Amino acid sequence: MLALPTYRTTRILLVRLSHMGDALHALPVFHALRECHAKAEIWWVIQPEFAGFLDGLPGLQGVIPYHRRGGLAGWRNLARSLRRLNFDCAINAQGNWKGAAVARLTGAPIRLATHKLDWREGSASWLANQYAEPARGPHAMHRMQALCQAIGSNAPLRWDLPLSQEELQEGQAALTKLLPGTGPGRILHLSAPGDARSWEAENYAILARSLAAAGEQVLCLSGPSEEQMGARLAQALSGTSDVTHLIGQRGLRSLAALLAAAAARNMRMLATDSGPSHMACAVALPVDLLAGPTYPDRTGPWPVGQPNRYLQDMDTRSMGSLDPARVQRWLHSS
188-214: pLDDT as tens digits: 999 988 888 899 999 999 999 999 999
pLDDT of residue 49 exceeding 70 = yes
Mention every residue, 6+ apart, whose C-beta is less than 8 A from residue 35. Answer: 153, 155
- For the ranges 29-33, 41-45, 309-313, the lowest mean pLDDT is seen at 309-313
Q: What is the pLDDT of residues 270-303, one digit of tens each?
A: 999 999 999 999 999 999 999 988 889 999 999 9
Does residue 54 surpass a pLDDT of 70?
A: yes
Distance from C-alpha of 254 to C-alpha of 252, rounded to nearest angstrom: 5
What's the distance, Cα to Cα, between the start and end of the chain in Å?
A: 43
| Superfamily for the 11-151 domain | Glycogen Phosphorylase B; (3.40.50.2000)
* Mean of pLDDT values over 231-235: 96
Could you check whether 11-151 and 165-331 share the same CATH topology? yes
Q: What letter represents residue 256's amino acid?
A: A
Domain boundaries, the chain: 11-151, 165-331
**Which of 66, 46, 68, 67 is CA-nearest to residue 57?**
46
Q: Single out the residue of 332, 295, 288 nearest to residue 311, CA to CA.
A: 288
Q: HSE, CB side, 13 Å, CA atoms: give it for residue 50.
A: 24
Between 334 and 127, where is the model more confident?
127
The whole-angstrom separation of Cα 327 and Cα 271 is 11
The answer to whether residue 101 scores a pLDDT higher than 80 is: yes
The rounded percent of the chain whose pLDDT value lies above 70 is 99
Q: Is 183 helix (H, G, I), strand (E, B) or coil?
A: coil
- Enumerate residues 6+ apart whose C-beta is below 8 A from 88: 4, 5, 10, 11, 12, 108, 109, 110
| Helix or strand run (H / E) with residue 326 | helix 324-331
Query: Pairing mode, if any, of strands 185-189 and 217-221?
Result: parallel
How big is the CA angle at 255 (ends 253 and 257), to the nearest 5 degrees? 70
What pLDDT is attached to residue 334?
Answer: 65
Confidence of residue 314 (pLDDT cuts 50, 70, 90): confident
Nearest-angstrom CA–CA distance, 108 and 28: 22
Residue 17: count other Cβ atoms within 10 Å of its Cβ: 23
Q: What is the overall mean pLDDT for the chain? A: 94
Average pLDDT over residues 76-85: 96
pLDDT at 90 over 70: yes
CATH 1.10.3720.10 fits 165-331, yes or no: no
